[in-house]
Amino acid sequence: MTTLTKTEGEKAPTGPDSFLSVRDLRVRFSTEDGIVKAVDGLSFDVERGKTLGIVGESGSGKSVTNLTVLGLHNPKTTTVEGEILLEGQDLVTTPEKELEKLRGNKVAMIFQDPLTALSPYYTVGRQIAEPYMKHTGASKKEARDRAIEMLTKVGIPQPKTRVDDYPHQFSGGMRQRAMIAMALVCDPDLLIADEPTTALDVTVQAQILDLLKDLQQEFGSAIIFITHDLGVISDMADDLLVMYSGRAVERGGVREVLREPRHPYTWGLLSSMPRLGGSTSQPLMPIPGSPPSLLNPPSGCPFHPRCTFKDQVSGDRCSTERPPLGEGRAAACHLTAEQKQTIFIDKIQPRLR
Ligand SMILES: Nc1ncnc2c1ncn2[C@@H]1O[C@H](COP(=O)(O)OP(=O)(O)OP(=O)(O)O)[C@@H](O)[C@H]1O
Ligand SMILES: [Mg+2]
């Protein structure tokens, strides 16, 4: 067990309430080519002490969603609509100054690319120590000790000397770990981890995942975990959100979704990804076609141009009517529950063995 520190009383009592609640989020970018609809009516919840996994192809809006939660979008070129409720406070309408106070303290992010988070001009130690001093009022000495402690936790060798290195003196994997140390230094209530361990070797990856689990156990933190690795997702997540074209197409408990997915896109995604403990005799099957244009998204169901099962839906509903995502365990698809089950058992399940 690690000994993560936080003074008593800083956290609200943990409970089954939703800590983060995103409702009908729409994120649009104005570009030279037109309006990019990167997130288009997305809703999800993350409970205290729980981990929400997010999967989806490249460009489905995973990073944009989470950067928007932190308010890290360019307000000049980005339009954000909908609600991002953090313990009831709407972050969409919260002034930047207040968001700055939340970031790094209550809410922290591990970025896909460590160079986005680390400045080349300051030592690694200073970049870990500063948010700690700012948010806890610790002294310089205490913060430096804390930085060394964090570097040790993320497995940086000789942390007492490496604390004074600049990011360029670290290898890529070490930079990734330093950024994780920076994100965790204030024991955030909500941690967003965007592909946090993809660049790391297996041993270090396991160490980092354990660290995240410790954080969660000790402080009841909520975690959003984005990854392409289904093994990691099934190990880390409680709930799973499958994103396509800036929307949620399927949601549910991670085990249920992985065991019995209900959306044709999820079927494609699972057939195209290596499975933990899966048979190697089943070839991976890429989803035919390519992700849709976000400048001019398809009408109706965004997946219909690539869906091999749309003929089983009567009329032209798939191309004209946007299928809603119901509450709880749900898939946004016009196939009936019975059709989904039959197709899954006959055609999909044998591929996933
Ligand atoms: N500032 C921006 N201006 C215009 N388009 C953008 C901007 N930022 C992101 N996008 C577009 O929004 C879409 C969603 O991007 P996002 O980075 O969220 O994808 P992702 O799901 O995280 O993909 P990956 O798995 O590759 O990380 C992409 O098509 C991307 O090109
Ligand atoms: Mg991304």
Provide the 8-state DSSP code for 297. Answer: P
Q: Which token pair is 150?
A: 């964090």
> Can you give the pLDDT at residue 149?
95
Select from 31, 54, 64 the residue to mutate for testing ligand 1; criterion: most ligand atoms less than 8 Å from CB: 64
The closest-lying atom of ligand 1 relative to the alpha carbon of residue 74 is 1
Ligand nearest to the CA of 67: 1
| pTM of this structure | 0.91
Ligand nearest to the CA of 110: 2
Pocket of ligand 1 contains residue 59 by CB under 6 Å? yes
Pocket of ligand 1 contains residue 79 by CB under 6 Å? no
Please state the domain extents for the chain: 268-274+282-352
Can you tell me the distance from the alpha carbon of 7 to that of 13, in angstroms, rounded to the nearest whole number?
14
Closest by CA position to 248, among listed 262, 236, 232, 229: 262
CB 192 within 8 A of CB 110: yes
> Can you give the pLDDT at residue 1?
41
CA of 64 to the centre of ligand 2 (A): 7
> Can you give the pLDDT at residue 9?
36
Q: What percent of the chain has pLDDT over 70?
A: 93
> Can you give the pLDDT at residue 277?
58
Ligand nearest to the CA of 60: 1
Q: What pairing do the DSSP bridges indicate for beta strands 330-331 and 247-253?
A: antiparallel
Q: Alpha helix locations (H) across the chain?
A: 62-69, 96-102, 114-117, 124-136, 140-153, 159-162, 172-184, 202-219, 230-236, 254-259, 264-272, 317-320, 337-343, 349-352
CA 58 to chain CA mean position, Å: 13
Query: What are the residue ranges in the chain where pLDDT is below 50?
Result: 1-16
Pocket of ligand 1 contains residue 36 by CB under 6 Å? yes
CA of 194 to the centre of ligand 2 (A): 7
Q: Which token pair is 101?
A: 């106070």
39-76 per-position pLDDT tens digit: 999 999 999 999 999 999 999 999 999 999 999 988 89
